[in-house]
Structure 1
Amino acid sequence: MSTSEPRSGTSPAPSTPLAGRRIRAALVGIGAIGRGSHLPALAELAEEGETEVVAAVDIDATAVGEFCAANGIPHAYTDLDRMLREQRPDLVSICTPPTLHRDQTVAALRAGAWVWCEKPPVPTLADFDAVQAEEGTDGGPYASIVFQHRFGSGSKHVRRLLAERAMGRPLVAHCQTTWYRDAAYYAVPWRGRWATEGGGPAMGHGIHQMDLLLDLLGPWSEVRAMAGRMVHDVETEDVSTALVRFANGAMATVVNSVLSPDEVSRIRIDCERATVELTHLYGHSNANWRITPAPDVPGDEADAWRDFGADVPSSHLEQLRELVASMRAGRRPRSSGADGRTSLELVAALYKSAFTDTTVRAGEIGPGDPFYTAMHGDAPGWAPVHSTAPVAAEEVSA
């Protein structure tokens, strides 16, 4: 897929007015995440009259042609720039591997399209800042990251309780993404490599739960971490642990693993008057949340905390609903800009702390810091020792 070269400081084309019509969407990358999560969400909103998928892009001409024919998508492309010129979509949904995200996002923004990009958004903080420099300044277009665990009735309810301090101050938290990936998973050429995946489980797996933790507790202030390669023959880590202090004083432990046969995703927050816990794997509903009040909390108050309302599971669909509403209102969506950057900055800080044996504070990693331009920071024992030439395009197709 062809993409435009990034140019810092340029202004994207103005957004097309969206009032009174469907949002024209294009899908870039037709692999598992594109066809399994993005397309169904777009199709659901199409049924509701909100969107229409006008094009799909992939490097495999035969595959994208068959995909479009099977899903009623009128235009198939192998060239992103050509699709952007000819179709002028309002929204571009990017479902390719991380190494492609920066250039594809920039190309879409310059064409006047909003972007909905799979996590991790880009491999480095420098890439993120380059993308943000291409966003509109008043009304879009903006680039939003897929952090679907923030969305849904459960996280919304708990976010409100924490913001209002209904359960008292948050004190201690635990964030766990302990999953299992075998050798076959890492046989895919772009996985486990800094240049193409950007990092290991902290970047590609645990970032979802860490993002939700930050969304619930607010800004982090410092991190102290360890990382290791314990099983897999990869450039990146396959396990990490971290201690994180938040600006509000709360302290958390974070564990990210792809070595754990008993897989679980978990967030637990102990507040002064209650413990709130989320236990799930790849998505959550109201039933996955549990609130345990302290012994002296009145029953009616605890019952109110446990009333999550109508069940709206976390999903790509719920995030897309909010993104479409933001597009129509011309406002920056959640999980974009500074709101999206904070999770990527935490990952970078985790790596810097682990690889340099230091405590890293929020805002510390910027231009001139080696961890700003590479998550491995050229640290001995972690920087790639083999050729870092990009893998062939056919090896990174999503």
Structure 2
Amino acid sequence: MAQGKRLRVAVVGAGAIADSHRVAYQARRDDVDLVAVADVDEGRALAFCAATEHAKPYRDLDSLLAEQEPDLVSICTPPGLHVEQTKRVLECGAWVWCEKPPCRSLAEYDEMTSAELEGGPYVSFVYQQRSGSGVAHFRELRAKGELGRPLVAHCQTTWYRDAGYYAVPWRGRWATEGGGPAMGHGIHQMDLLLHLLTDDADGDGEVSGDGEWAEVQAMTARLVHDVETEDVSTSLVRFGSGALATVVNSVLSPDEVSRIRIDCERATVELAHLYGHRAENWRYTPAPHVAGIPTEPAEDVGSSHAAALGPVLDAYRTRRRPPCSGADGRRVLEFVAALYKAAFTGRIVRRGEIGPGDPFYRDMAGVSVG
């Protein structure tokens, strides 16, 4: 494809999250042309198209792919549909930008990525909390040694969801959502925590053993909601470096917050926000023996779908693997699987132990979702 040609992009699933994709694409009008949306609900598809310049509505993905031949497709449907739809798009030669959670299991993730080809098409997943100048600034300070070795971390996604939220049929069920708040809500903050603590300079997903999480212990509970999955989870994590972390995911918390705190040798770094962060949400506290740390990034770019889209488009143009794909995109899903396995079995689960033949490889509850 010519370097300057606008990419033809489309969206599958016109629910609420699709608007974030639409806004991201419209912010990059010089790079992309939003040409279509597919949704089984004609009214939703028409409403989505009304907010665009000329996107065309479709009732099914196959018709959209055949007529529009897009270069990139956003998948914004429930997670139980991601595998089939992703594979269909990849088979047609288009790249995929897929919403979280990527799918319902490690087995499904591996099935999706097995449909990729070297040089593309690839599937990348939307972990937009990694984006923004605050994250880049933290990783730059770590790389320069300004913060020292990470020692203790806390990762908190404590949100509130009422019974009406779970009235949507696919939510709160293992077979359709793949898990509770650890899977559908906290996965963003957990991915960000793992991203902040790794030393993956080039974003290819390959990090040192010290930077990876090593083992996890966990508990889950269903305390309020009438659902199959948990509505709260807690876990203890040890990293290869020896650093320890606590992780809490909840949909029972009236005072909602998303928070990551990392105590390093030279400073404590805390990020507190709800659904997105800017520079003002980051706080750096130097250790008593440290004179000071450059706490302000050169620019203030917030985390968002629009910020996360840029690297995906850059990867498409250069025919290289995008961030949040392959091993990089799989890391947090393996962590979630380990969290559930630790909670269900009551024992420590180590990174790399969940593979084909392990019941938690096929689904997060350790039973068939058939």
2:320 aligned with 1:357: no
Provide, for residues 133-157 of structure 1, a one-character-per-residue CA deviation record: whole Å limited to 9, x for no partner. 00111x2111010000001000111
Q: Does 1:376 align with 2:365?
A: yes
Matched, 1:221 2:214: yes
1:288 aligns with 2:281: yes
Alignment of 1:167-316 (within 5 A): 167-218=147-198, 219-299=212-292, 302=293, 304=294, 306-316=295-305
Instruction: Quote the Cα distance in structure 1 between the aligned partners of 2:335 and 2:44.
Output: 37
SS at match of 1:368: coil
2:26 is aligned to 43
Counterpart of 2:312, as a letter, is L
User: What per-residue deviation string (whole Å, max 9, x for no partner) do you get for residues 59-99 of structure 1?
Assistant: 02343234324423342111211211221100000111111
Q: Distance in 2 between matches of 1:66 and 1:60?
A: 10
Alignment partners' CA distance in 2, 1:205 and 1:19: 37
Give the whole-Å Cα distance in 2 for the aligned partners of 1:120 and 1:375: 12
Residue pair 1:162, 1:170 contacting (<8 A) in 2 also = no
Aligned equivalent of 1:320? 309
Residues 66/169 of structure 1: CA separation in 2 closer, same or farther (3 Å cut)? closer
The C-alpha deviation readout for 1:266-291, integer Å capped at 9, x for no partner, is: 00000011000000000000000000
Question: Is 1:159–2:143 an aligned residue pair?
Answer: no
Structure 2 counterpart of 1:21, one-letter code: K
Q: Partner of 1:80 in structure 2?
A: 61
Give the whole-Å Cα distance in 1 for the aligned partners of 2:303 and 2:46. Answer: 31
Q: State yes or no: 1:144 paired with 2:133.
A: no
- Paired with 2:139 and 2:361, the residues of 1 have a C-alpha distance of 30
Matched residue, 2:14:
30
The secondary structure found in structure 2 opposite 1:215 is helix
Q: Give the distance between the partners of 1:272 and 1:342, measured in 2 at CA.
A: 25
Give yes or no for contact 1:217–1:246 (8 Å, CA) kept in 2: no
Distance 1:142 1:129 in 2: 13
Amino acid of the structure 2 residue aligned with 1:43: Q
Paired residues of 1:84 and 1:108 also in contact (CA < 8 A): yes
What do the CA deviations read for 1:334-387 (whole angstroms, capped 9, x no partner)?
A: 100000000000000000000000100111101000001110003xxxx8xxxx
Please, what TM-score do these two structures have when normalized by structure 1? Answer: 0.88
- Percent of counterpart pairs with the same letter? 63
**Given residue 79 of structure 2, which amino acid in structure 1 is its aligned partner?**
P
Ranges in structure 2 where 5+ consecutive residues have no aligned partner: 199-211
Question: Residue 66 and residue 205 in structure 1: after superposition, are their counterparts in 2 closer, same or farther (change >3 A)?
Answer: closer
Q: Secondary structure at the match of 1:171?
A: strand
- After the TM superposition, which residues 95-174 of structure 1 pair with which residues of structure 2 at under 5 Å, given as runs? 95-137=76-118, 139-174=119-154
Deviation digits for residues 303-354 of structure 1 (CA, Å, limit 9, x no counterpart): x2x1211100000000101111111111111100000000000000000000
Task: Specify whether residues 183 and 74 from structure 1 end up closer, same or farther in structure 2 by C-alpha distance, changes over 3 A only.
Answer: closer
| Residue 18 of structure 1, CA deviation | 4.5
CA distance in 2, matches of 1:213, 1:18: 37
CA–CA distance in 2 between the matches of 1:67 and 1:214?
34
C-alpha separation in 2, matches of 1:361 and 1:78:
44
RMSD: 1.3
* Cα pair 2:279 2:296 within 8 Å, conserved: no
Give the equivalent residue in structure 1 for 2:201.
none
In the alignment, the residues of structure 2 paired with residue 226 and residue 256 of structure 1 have an alpha-carbon distance, to the nearest angstrom, of 11
Q: Which amino acid is the alignment partner of residue 194 of structure 1?
A: W
Question: Could you say what secondary structure the match of 1:244 adopts?
Answer: strand
* Compared CA separation, residues 323 and 18, structure 1 to 2 (3 A): farther
Distance in 1 between residues matched to 2:2 and 2:34, nearest whole Å: 15
Give the Cα–Cα distance (whole angstroms) in 2 for the partners of residues 372 and 334 of structure 1.
23
Using the alignment, how far apart are the partners of 1:234 and 1:61 within structure 2?
29
Q: Is contact 2:15-2:44 (8 Å) kept? A: no
